[in-house]
Structure 1
Amino acid sequence: MKKLAILMLFIVAAGIFAGCSASNEKQGAESTEKAILKIFHAGSLSNPLKDLGESFTEYAKAKGYNVEIQNEASGSVMAVRKVTDLGKKADIVAVADYTLIPQMLVPNYTDFYVLFAKNEIVIAYTDKSKYADEINSDNWYDILARDDVSFGFSDPNQDPCGYRSVMVTKLASLYYGKPIFETLIESNTNIYADGNHIFAPKDIQVGTDRIVVRPKESDLTGIIESGSIDYIFTYKSLAEQHGLKYVELPGKISLGDFSEEKYYKQVSITLGSTGKTIEAKPIVYGITVLKDAPNRELAIDYLKFLLGKDGKEIFKKNYQDFLNPPIAFGNVPEEIKGSVKVVSE
């Protein structure tokens, strides 16, 4: 009986101890604040933002946050229109063309933005692509014009890579003195030009099975990797992330040379989706935290992390070049002023 009593006391004590442990664990879990960060972003930022999110989640744990990051990729124009036209809520918007922020989000939806990364347009392909052993920086337009060759670009109305790709062909016409835009774009789609000004109707129509148009540039990578298409106009960073071969274009065409900004401005495009006219310019990405961000303080912390050493290393690993330094406009939050150059507009 004495042994039984001791055993019962042991069981009761163990139960009390287990209950205390469970209670402590519960209290510990409750002490960690749960938060969601919603980010609307350009498709070409998918890889670096995925890696950045994983690193930031670990960083946030040390500050007492259990963060769930919800990255939602689309063409940059569509990312902005989710806020302005569809009324969707997000904390951060990151776009492949920074000018979309001052044009469409300032002042109603945000009062500051940061220019933080750059890129350039290339012609990407694989070993399966027709004439892969022939194409180079001097003959790419002749290869794409061949009847048995297929190529693609993203929708200009939804994605900056799309309107940039189209403008690259018009710049190529000027640079080479040949009707490259007319041959590749105008004769195969309902996109047309008046001089150096291009018009992209709201609904892009393609008149041949040689051309593929998709909502965003990252939608094209799987198609070319499968061998269903020969060439795509895309960003250099995406080509390198996916291990694609690519043709680098001359600086006066690629939109990657800041010294050629004046040359690029010869060409512009009006988008049927927004009615906005956009000049060709060097490719610069922009990011902002929205005024009504559900988790604004945490979003600014995320932006500071992105602009810091860890963020820059993650972007470099993903072949995305950072501006040095990033440039900020507007009512710039104090928390990020040490990471940017603040410029008056």
Structure 2
Amino acid sequence: MARQTRRAVLAALGSGLAATAGCGAFGRERVDMLVAGSLQKAASETLQARTDVDLAVEARGSVQAARLVADGKRDPAIVALADPALFDRLMDAAWHAVVASNEMVLAYNPQTDGGERVADAATWYDPLRGDSVSLGRTDPALDPLGYRTLFVLTLAADYYDEPGLADAVLTPDQTYPETQLLAQFETGAVDAAFVYRSMAIERDYPYREFPPEIHLGDPGHAERYRAASYELSDGTAVTGSPIEYGALRRDERDATRTAFEAVLAGDWLAPHGFTVRQAYPRLVGDVPDTVTR
């Protein structure tokens, strides 16, 4: 993938919410970040290298992360989630910035018999039916990757004319936390996993690609994606849509502004397999007037 770099076009700003200030390494001011699990490596390594601020990065499934903030159990200066809709639905945030896109893939372990079956199959889903391949995924109640896995299978059932595909492929014992999912390859616990393309690229795992009609990464198929949906435990309905990542700044400290400018620049994401479109960052909601456009 070609690396896309560009300068931030927005000045960072916050909603006036307080965040805990701290002193990080070498006396630098610390900025607490709560990020989606799929952003952990990009934020901890590449984003950190793009700023002089000391980033204290905590990674969670995005649904869980949004709930932690909404319930007052976390008070990060910056939140970055794998589904921007969660800012409004769970955090009641007035605005956010969309910073990247991604797509779903089926990663496999080429060193296991099950992984080889996935690699060699004429159709990617054939070896997943039955018990010859151990499959990993995340919990849809905690993480967009989990409900997007369900969306892919729902869309695939229609695309390939395979009714009941999800029931044939999924079992309750397949779920892992997003931050641990691909690590299961290293222990041999799973042969294949539904993941974001960026996750496979970061760990250099081979993967099977899905058609754009089902991989949730093509805005041109947004209408088709809306045919899939999932209801969270609190009754919130989530509908299929092109995958996007959003970020929100929650205080006005200089260190947070500096860090958020680096977040909006987007050049920390492309090397990790994310798609950074020319339209990003895209501002959504009641954006304060002080934003530089």
* Separation in structure 2 between the aligned mates of residue 166 and residue 304 of structure 1, nearest angstrom: 34
Residue 84 (structure 1) aligned to one of 70, 75, 86: 70
Alignment RMSD: 2.1
Q: Give CA-to-partner distance per residue, 1:149-184, whole Å, 9 cap, x none.
A: 110101111110011011211111111111211211
- Deviation per CA, 1:107-148, whole angstroms, max 9, x where unpaired? xxx422001100011000121233544536851211111322
Give distance in 2, aligned partners of 1:45 and 1:335. 28
User: Deviation string for 1:260-307 (max 9, x for gaps)?
Assistant: 1100111110012x32110011100011012xx3x5443233222222
Query: Does the 8 Å CA contact 1:289/1:296 hold for their aligned counterparts?
Result: no
Alpha-carbon distance in 1 for matches of 2:151, 2:275: 22
Question: What whole-Å deviation, never above 9, does each CA across 1:197-228 have from its counterpart, x for those lacking one?
Answer: xxxxxxxxx2xxxx421122x31111113322
Match of residue 111 from structure 1 = 94
- Residue 158 of structure 2 corresponds to 174
- CA 1:298–1:330 in structure 2 vs 1: closer, same or farther (change >3 Å)? farther
Quick check: 2:50–2:262 contact (8 Å CA) kept in 1? Answer: no
Q: Which amino acid aligns with 1:116?
A: V
Task: Indicate the residue corresponding to 2:51 in structure 1.
Answer: 56
1:252 alignment partner, SS class: coil
> Which of 238, 244, 253 is residue 284 of structure 1 equivalent to?
244
Partners of 2:30 and 2:114 lie apart in 1 by 48
Structure 1: gaps spanning 5 or more residues: 1-31, 58-66, 189-205, 339-345
User: What is the Cα deviation at residue 86 of structure 1?
Assistant: 4.0
AA aligned to 1:284 is: E
Give the 3-state SS of the residue equivalent to 2:89 in structure 1: helix
Q: Which runs of 5+ in 2 are unaligned?
A: 1-25
One-letter identity of the residue aligned with 1:93: V
Tell me whether 1:275 sits opposite 2:235 in the alignment.
yes
Write the distance in 1 (CA, Å) between the matches of 2:95 and 2:36. Answer: 18
Is the contact between residue 130 and residue 169 of structure 2 (CA under 8 Å) also seen in structure 1? no
Kindly indicate whether the alpha-carbon contact (under 8 Å) linking 1:304 and 1:335 is maintained by their aligned counterparts in 2: no
Q: Which amino acid aligns with 1:41?
A: V
CA distance in 2, matches of 1:296, 1:271: 34
Q: 1:317 aligns with which of 258, 262, 271?
A: 271
Match for 1:300: what amino acid?
R
Counterparts of 2:184 and 2:96, CA distance in 1: 34
Instruction: Give distance in 2, aligned partners of 1:104 and 1:145.
Output: 35
Quote the offset at 1:248 in angstroms: 0.2
Aligned partner of 1:125 in structure 2 is 108
Q: In the aligned structure 2, how far is the partner of 1:336 from the partner of 1:219? A: 37
Q: 1:317 to 1:336 in 2, by over 3 A?
A: farther
Greater relative contact order structure (CA < 8 Å, 6+ sep):
2
CA contact (8 A) 2:67 2:91 kept: no
Q: CA deviation at 1:335?
A: 6.5
Q: Which has the higher helix share?
A: 1
Q: Give matches, 1:1-345, under 5 Å.
A: 34-50=28-44, 51-57=46-52, 67-106=53-92, 110-135=93-118, 138-178=122-162, 179-185=164-170, 188=171, 206=172, 211-216=173-178, 218-272=179-233, 274-290=234-250, 293=251, 296-308=253-265, 311-312=266-267, 314-326=268-280, 327-333=282-288, 337-338=292-293
- What is the rounded CA distance, in whole Å, between the counterparts of 1:125 and 1:173 in structure 2? 21
Aligned residues: 264
Report deviation, 1:320: 1.5
- Asked if the contact 2:114–2:132 (Cα under 8 Å) also holds between the matched residues in 1, the reply is no
- The question of whether the paired residues in 2 share the 8 Å contact of 1:316 and 1:322 is answered with yes
Which amino acid letter does the alignment assign opposite residue 317 of structure 1? P
Name the SS of the counterpart of 1:287 in structure 2: strand
The more displaced of 239-248 and 128-137 is: 128-137
Displacement over 6 Å in runs of 4+: none
CA gap of 1:86–1:212, structure 2 versus 1, over 3 A, is: farther
How far apart are the structure 1 equivalents of 2:218 and 2:31?
34
Q: Which amino acid aligns with 1:232?
A: A
What amino acid is aligned across from residue 301 of structure 1 in structure 2? T
